[in-house]
Every structure is written in C-alpha cells, then in structure tokens.
Amino acid sequence: MPARPGDALADVDTPALVLDLDKFEGNLERLMSAVAPRSVRVRPHAKSHKCVEIARRQVAAGAVGICCQKTSEAEPFLAGGIGDVLITNEVIGSRKTDQLAALAARHPAARLGVCVDDPRAVVQLGQACKQAEARLDVYIELDVGHNRAGVATVAAVVALGRAIGAQTHLTLRGLQAYFGSAQHRRGIAERRQAIAAATTLAKAARNGLLGAGLSCDTITGGGTGTFMLETTSGVYSEIQPGSYALMDADYSKNEQDPAWPVFDHSLFILTSVMSRRKDDLTNRATLDAGLKAYSTDSGAAMPTFPGWHIRGVSDEHTVMHRIGDGPELALGEKPLLIPGHIDPTVNLHDWIVAVRNERVEAVWRVDARGAVF
Amino acid sequence: MPARPGDALADVDTPALVLDLDKFEGNLERLMSAVAPRSVRVRPHAKSHKCVEIARRQVAAGAVGICCQKTSEAEPFLAGGIGDVLITNEVIGSRKTDQLAALAARHPAARLGVCVDDPRAVVQLGQACKQAEARLDVYIELDVGHNRAGVATVAAVVALGRAIGAQTHLTLRGLQAYFGSAQHRRGIAERRQAIAAATTLAKAARNGLLGAGLSCDTITGGGTGTFMLETTSGVYSEIQPGSYALMDADYSKNEQDPAWPVFDHSLFILTSVMSRRKDDLTNRATLDAGLKAYSTDSGAAMPTFPGWHIRGVSDEHTVMHRIGDGPELALGEKPLLIPGHIDPTVNLHDWIVAVRNERVEAVWRVDARGAVF
C-alpha cells in the first residue's frame, strides 16, 4: 500500500495513482447537473476506474448503477453493493456464459445485464441462466459506426429480439448503442454528425422492435466525448460516460462545446525523480514511472508543470529533458503526470490514493484490477 | 484462475497468457549453450516474466540469479528461494531505501544488489542498511549511451566508488553497464557499434576504480538484442537478458547474426472471437483481448495465423479484418496472438498458463505483477 490515511502527499510511495478528491467530486457534480434537466439516466462506465468506492460515490451522486466490460469485472461491484450492473459487451462461450449465470444467481436481488450480437450467444446465455436458475437482462448491441461489435441492420435487431423473447430466463431490455470511436474525434461537428447517425439508427431499431411486438425500454450509450449529444437526442434514455470522473490527456484534446460541462483532471501519477543529470551536455530528469505505471497507447503522459519534455518511456522509467522555465526536479522530488489514457493506466495499479489539501484522506482498492475474464 | 493442470488448451479461459513449455525450455537451453564456452555469468532479467517459477527454472538451467527493477519486485523472488538478486536500478528516497534495507535484513543469507548514480543515494542507502543491520552489494550505473540513468565519466565513477567505500554496510561490486536502447536497434552493425562503445567506457571505468584502489569484480549488462556482444567483449563478466525466454513481436524484428542463438516465441495471448461479422460490407472478427490484456507501446500484437490484419485495439477488444487466406475465426474460436512487448504485457496478468502438447501442465502466478514500488 503506497500510503495511509493522514499521510502527507509528499510521503506517498511512488509511482502511485493519486486522486484529487475536490476535482473528482466536482466532476461528478458537473455531470449530474448538466443532464439533470433531461430525463436520461446516468450509468457511469466503471471500466475506467474499476473501484467500488468510486462507483458508490457515483451512485450516491445520482447514477442508477454502473457499466462493466467483463463478468469478472462486474463481480466486485455486485459484491460491493452496486445493485444494477450492465456488462456492455458480448459474453461468448459456455465457460463464460456459465460464469455470468452463476454471478447472476449469486445476486438475485441485483439487476444484471449483458449485450448480444449473435443468436447463438442468446441460446447459450438462455441455457446457462435456466441451468443456474438465474435471470439476466439482455441488450442488443447495435453497431452505430465503430464496426467493433453489434449488428448493423434493423432486421438483425428484430431477429435477435425474437431469439431473446424465446428464452424463459432472459429479459429483452433494449439497445446498447455506444459509438466508441466517436468519443475521441476532436471536432465537435464530427462528433455531432456521428451521434446524429447513431441516433437515427437506434430509433429505427427501436421502432423495429416495437413494430414486431417486442419491448425496448432502454437505449443506452454515450461516453465522455459525446454524452451531451445522446442526452439531448430525444432517443437515448441512458448514458454511460466513464472517463469524465478522472479524465486523461487524450480526452482533454477534444474540442469542447461551450454549453457542455468541462471536467478537470482528477487522477495523476505521482512519481519520484530517480536520476538527475545536469551538465554541459544534458539537463535530464528520470522519473520512476514507466509503462508499468501508465499506458502510452493514446499518447504520452502530460506533465502538470512547464519547462520539461518527455523524451522516452520504458518499462520503469520516464526520461524528461528541460526545455524551458519550470521546476528544478531535484533528485527525490515528486512530480505529477496526467496519464494519456485513464482506463489501461488504472488497471496497472492496486490502489488509488485519495487526497485532499495535500493530505491522504483514504486509500481505495482498484477492486477489478486485472479482471479480464 | 483461467485454467487448471490437465485442462485442454481449448478450454482455457480468455484472454490468458499461454506459455509453450517446449519452446520456453528450448530458449533457456539455447542461451546457456551459446554462452557456455565463455566465462560470463548469466543473470536473466526477471522484469520480463515476474514469475518465481520461471526464475527457478532459469537458475536450474545455470543462471547465477536474477535481475529486478524494483524493491517490491525483488521481494517475491527472494521469498521464493532465489538467493541472488540484483536490482538494476536506482532506489531513491528514505522510504524506499528503508524498504530495501529491510528486505536485505529479512534475507541475510541472500545476495542482494542495487545500483547508484548519485552520492546522496549512497549515503542514504548506507544509513538505511546500518540502521537495519543489513548489507547490500552496490553497483555503479554507467551511462553507456541510453542517457536514462547512470554517470557518464570515469571521474564520477571513481567518486561514487569512494563514497560507497566510506559506508560500512555497503560493498562495491562493480559496474552496471546496460545499453537499453541498443537492444532494439534493428541492424547488427548498429548494435555492434553501440556495445563496442559501451565496452570501451566500461573498461575505462573499471580501470579508474582499480587505479583508485577500489574493487570492480563485476561488469554486468546486455539484453536479448546484444548479449552475445557483451559475452564476447572480454570486459563484461555477466549478462542480463530477459526477453529471450518468452520473446515478443518487437524483438523478432531485429536482424540476427547467424552465429547467435535464435529464440522462439514461447508466450502468447489466448483470445476468443467474441463478435463476428461477415457480409458484403465487412469481414471482421473481434477478439476479447485489448489494451488490458497486452500492451501496444512497441507496436501491435502479431497474429500467429495468416490472412488477418489487426485494425484497432481498444480496452477490451482487438478488431481484425480478413485480408487473405487464413482460418475462418468463427465465433468462440480461440486464436493466439504474439504480444508486441513482453514486459508490460506479462505485468497485466495474474497467471501464466504453461502448456505442452495442447494440454495445461501448470498454472504459475505472476508473483511480481504490479510491483512498481
């Protein structure tokens, strides 16, 4: 454990995930205020934080529950008292459908949902639930443009709806219509266009289901980059933003609509300067955090201070060079970095150190760290 | 746990790290045979596998011990009976030097080493060891060209040597002279040139220490891309390759000298096809492994089969498109990928599933997973 409640921030072991509680609480509040005038439900995506305590605070702020990506990821949240969990992903293969049905059976009072995009999966889920005497909510995943999963036609949606209806232990809830790749399109106009198309398709799919005598109570989707578009679409009934609570360098590059809420970076990597060289040839500070402390898939981390450029990142090192005025970064000093991509970064850590006014208030477990199954 | 001994490979849960034991054992043997005619010691780097069972097998094959990068990473190896561990990295700050000294005190019969590149760290380590009544071996890190850590002049090496000599609980062992960035220079000539320069500097540094009446028993360095050069240098007495045991897509891009041993890919990501679309518009298979199952910092993963191209990787998905003849990749099928970069990939997993002839022989814990402190 990198710290204990009451420790000074300066005494936290490194590299560690540090959460600025004031900024985090501000993010939760700004999201809820922004969507409050609309009748959408908020179901934050927990894949970005994997932390039961954060989910509890999201629910306390008004969220209806959370999203997860995997059965094993849903497990600690259900065990931790989050009573409404949607796995926004397909669960394929009898080993996995058995695990999911068993999880549902262990939490009969909770609401647990999953996505499908293939009729064989519907049959397998239905049989697993029957066997386990469990019930699952099912959402048909609609491919609204990412071409990653989901079906792309109304006919396929209706066929899946009928297949779900034929299963005694599955309940058709509606549509998963998340446009993943649209979240990071930098321009507002591009994102607006993407979500307009997604909304049109989702509406047609819902009408298809209703026209076939099937139900479609919920259309769920939307992430941190687009959720205001889904919120005001008149079609989506639920949004799934995740990164808004913590933020990252990648999301902060998006162009912002002035009418949308702005979220602060609340999660940082606390590092230590572990090697320092300053002579005629180089002015270099090396930090003790590398690819095992933050991921670089969506670009480099961002220093929270000026005057330094990240030259390279290896397994356990970040090498920085001085390029202007900024802090000295003496040996042992503890600079903060903003991770490039929050989800795979949090997944590297066992603990989140929650800090207020430079003092550790709590240390939370990253409960679903490594939950890939 | 994704599998149990005796399970068929096809029944292993996904995504999982799968080790081909025949190939792994071949790699261990080929390394030892290649260096056997020379008088260098082999100290494999355990940062790439983080697994005590793999370290035990490396020692059984003739390694003198292992390397680690962090105090917390060294801990499970010492506890697991590896009696000679070198932390090839600087340990800075009183919290961290206290942790290291405490670890040394808990294992008085083991040999534990650490690197330094700053006289303040020498004093801090010396005091921490005195306090804990522990002893540490100390290696002066020489910057042989990576400019990441280490000192770059003979004068600085000698000054550090004297500082170490002044500490009652530290023993100067020699030089850490690892050229990290040279490992991945694709051409043999480039790597040869880099290690020739490193060798010249290491020799000068050793002569500086000896000339000042200080000792320098060991010059250690060399990774999977260059170790044959250090082995035949006449100056290095120890090599530190890590990736050779498992290999990855990045290392396999290096030009190979025909006289050097060739290592096989032995570690794979077992995945499942979780979504499949095949119509007039697209022929797409989506796997249930993404950035939380393998890292992409050194390039994409590599399919072990032809005919498919990886279009994109997100947190929990790999999207592939069919571009030629190859397997069908039906829903639920379990293709294998070769990770782009082994070290941060292994660090994402809790288990390594060791397989021989398509059957699980053992499931090993990734003991030092997440050990960043």
Specify the pLDDT at position A281.
85
The neighbouring-strand residues paired with B111 are: B84
Q: Best of A316, A345, A360 to disrupt the B interface by mutation (most B CBs within 10 Å)? A: A316
Three-state DSSP class for A352? strand
Residue B15 preceded by cis peptide, ω within 30: yes
Contacts of A92 in chain B (CB under 8 A): 272-275, 288, 331-332
Contact criterion met (CB < 8 Å) for B373 and A70 = no
H or E element at residue B88: strand B84-90
Phi-psi category of residue B358: left, alpha or beta, with phi > 0 → left and psi -120 to 50 → alpha: left
Contacts of A271 in chain B (CB under 8 A): none
> Is residue A168 exposed (0-12), middle (13-18) or buried (19+ Cβ within 10 Å)?
exposed
Q: Convert the pLDDT of each residue in B167-206 to its tens digit.
A: 999 999 999 999 999 999 999 999 999 999 999 999 999 9
From A274, A296, A373, residue closest to B2, measured CB to CB? A373
pLDDT bin (cut points 50, 70, 90) of residue B165 is very high
- Cα separation, B114 vs B167, in Å, equals 14
Interchain contact A319–B (C-beta under 8 A): yes
Contact criterion met (CB < 8 Å) for B293 and A372 = yes
Q: Convert the pLDDT of each residue in B220-232 to its tens digit.
A: 999 999 999 999 9
pLDDT bin (cut points 50, 70, 90) of residue A280 is confident
Contacts of A93 in chain B (CB under 8 A): 14, 272, 332
Contact criterion met (CB < 8 Å) for B373 and A14 = yes
From B95, B149, B274, residue closest to A90, measured CB to CB? B274
Q: Convert the pLDDT of each residue in A62-78 to its tens digit.
A: 999 999 999 999 999 99
Specify the pLDDT at position A157.
98
Contact criterion met (CB < 8 Å) for A152 and B277 = yes
- With contact defined as beta carbons under 8 Å apart, do B317 and B306 qualify? no
Contacts of B373 in chain A (CB under 8 A): 2, 13-15
What sections of chain B are H helices per DSSP?
21-35, 52-60, 71-79, 94-106, 119-132, 154-165, 188-211, 227-231, 342-346
Contact criterion met (CB < 8 Å) for B11 and A93 = no
- Cα separation, A342 vs B111, in Å, equals 39
Output the CA–CA distances (angstroms, integers) from residue A168 to A114, A162, A172, A197, B229, in the order listed: 16, 12, 11, 34, 67
Candidates A115, A131, A142, A209; CA nearest to A168 is A131
Candidates A72, A297, A50, A114; CA nearest to B16 is A72
Interchain contact B278–A (C-beta under 8 A): no
Q: What own/partner pairs with CB < 8 Å and gap ≥ 24 does A346-349 have?
A: A346/A17, A346/A48, A346/A49, A346/A50, A346/A51, A346/A246, A346/A267, A347/A50, A347/B292, A347/B348, A348/A292, A348/A293, A348/A294, A348/A295, A348/B347, A348/B348, A348/B370, A348/B372, A349/A16, A349/A17, A349/A293, A349/B370, A349/B372
> What percentage of residues in chain B have a pLDDT greater than 70?
100
User: What tokens does A109 get?
Assistant: 């009072």
Which DSSP symbol is given to B115?
E
Interchain contact B117–A (C-beta under 8 A): yes
Which DSSP symbol is given to A142?
B
Output the CA–CA distances (angstroms, integers) from residue B297 to A313, B224, B294, in the order listed: 9, 18, 9
What sections of B217-321 are H helices per DSSP?
227-231
Q: Convert the pLDDT of each residue in B78-109 to its tens digit.
A: 999 999 999 999 999 999 999 999 999 999 99
H or E element at residue A59: helix A52-60
Please give the backbone phi and psi of residue B252, each rounded to the nearest 5 degrees, phi first: -70, -5
User: What tokens does B79 get?
Assistant: 């506890």
DSSP calls for A259-285: TS------EEEE--EEEEEESSS-EEE
Average pLDDT (A230-252) is 97
Would the pLDDT of B267 be above 90?
yes
Name residues 158-177 of chain B within 8 A of A (Cβ). none
- Average pLDDT, whole number, for chain A? 97
Q: Which residue has the tokens 């082999």?
A: B42
**Interface A:B, Cβ pairs < 8 A:** 166
Would the pLDDT of A327 be above 90?
yes
- Cα separation, B217 vs B308, in Å, equals 51
Nearest CA in chain B to A68: B316
- Cα separation, B22 vs A171, in Å, equals 47
- Average pLDDT, whole number, for chain B? 97
